[in-house]
Amino acid sequence: MQAVDWLYLLLPYQFSPVIAGTAVVVLTVYFRGARAAAERQLQVGFGRHLAFFAGVALCYLVLHTRFDYYAQYMFFMHRLQHLVLHHIGAFLIALSAPWSVLALGLPVGIRERLLRPLVRNRLVRGLYRALQHPAVAPTLFVGLIFFWLIPEVHFDAMLNLKLYHLMNASMLIDGILFWWLMLNPSVQHASVRIGYGLRILIMVLITVPQVVLGAYIALSRQELFEIYAICGRAWPISPEVDQQLGGILTWIPAAMMSVLGVLLVLRMLLRAEQTRSEAPNPSADIA
């Protein structure tokens, strides 16, 4: 494929000033924050930077390049888009724990006059605690997948551009919130306390409905999402194959992300146990 073809694929299908502007602002603020962290000799590993940029890049690619066209005209590409937004991209962004770096990258005036009061606001903190409750977060995480795949809701979302963008934004924001709750190294943050064992249980439990939904879509003999037949498919594949591929993407990779999350939390748990065992025992010194 020629270079010009690759450039064509990277150009927006439908230019969105919101998506483009958000990407530019986020990356600019992060670069400023990373430089400030280095000047202050704060330890931010290369792996965290890599995870953040990879997550942002993946989300941008599925939202604001030619990929978005295929996501609107092929069901399995739509499911791949949401797999990136809700699972892979959000997972990488949460894993990078970018909040301190982003805060450092903000101008001092914005940080002091806007960010601090916002973080300390009772309503904001209450909303965050509610969304990150161990019962609410996984319910919302799985519930959004089911909601946007209700055939009637999905039909409307794919025809209404504002609703389409709302759907994608909700998947990305909810994905970041959920994976941050799961992957945060601290057991307690911002008045939300969740132990490692409960995180593992949650990630196991959310796998079941995703597997059931994906299997139902992949194995269904009827066409569930007629919007792609009405508007036409980007590639000449049968509706059955398109739906089967979409179901498999909803089924297997999503479950594997939970497995990866469990492994990372187990690593955190082992590190915490090792730190606890290596800590000095005051009672032993007294004896």
Q: Are 174 and 139 in contact (CB under 8 A)?
A: no
CA dihedral sign, ordered 63, 66, 71, 76: negative
pLDDT of res. 191: 65
Q: Count the domains in the chain.
A: 1
Residue 258 lies in a domain: yes
Query: What distance in Å separates the CA atoms of residue 132 and residue 136, rounded to the nearest whole number?
Result: 7
Contact predicate 282/264, CB 8 Å: no
In single-letter form, the type of residue at position 157 comes to A
Q: What is the pLDDT of residue 189?
A: 65
> What tens digit of pLDDT does each residue of 69-122 get?
999 999 999 999 999 999 999 999 999 999 999 999 999 999 888 888 988 899
Quote the distance between the C-alpha of residue 216 and its chain's center: 24
Q: State residue 42's pLDDT score.
A: 87
Whole-number pLDDT of residue 190: 60
In a domain, 2, yes or no: no
**Within-domain flag for 67:** yes
Mean residue pLDDT of the chain comes to 91
DSSP state of 279: S
First to last CA, the chain: 74
Rounded to an integer, what distance in angstroms lies between the CA atom of residue 270 and that of residue 180?
A: 19
With a cut of 70, which residues of the chain have pLDDT below it?
Answer: 1-4, 188-191, 279-287
Within a domain: 279: no
Closest C-alpha among 84, 45, 35, 39 to residue 185: 45
What's the pTM? 0.92
Q: What is the pLDDT of residue 279?
A: 63
3-state helix, strand, coil in the chain (%, to 5): 80, 0, 20
CA–CA distance, 6 with 174 (Å, rounded to integer): 31
**Is the CB of residue 200 less than 8 Å from the CB of residue 265?**
yes
Determine, yes or no, domain membership for 180. yes
Q: Which of 40, 181, 48, 33 is nearest to 100 (CA)?
A: 33
Task: Supply the range of the domain harboring residue 162.
Answer: 11-273
Q: Is 278 a domain residue?
A: no
Torsion angle (degrees, nearest 10) of CA 125, 121, 168, 226: 70
The number of helix segments (H) and strand segments (E) in the chain equals 17, 2
Query: For residue range 16-30, what is the model confidence (pLDDT) as tens digits?
Result: 999 999 999 999 999
Instruction: Determine, yes or no, domain membership for 137.
Output: yes
Question: Is 284 inside any structural domain?
Answer: no
pLDDT (0 to 100) of residue 283: 52
Cβ atoms within 10 A of the Cβ of 197, count?
A: 10
pLDDT score of 7: 81
E-strand stretches of the chain? 188-189, 192-193
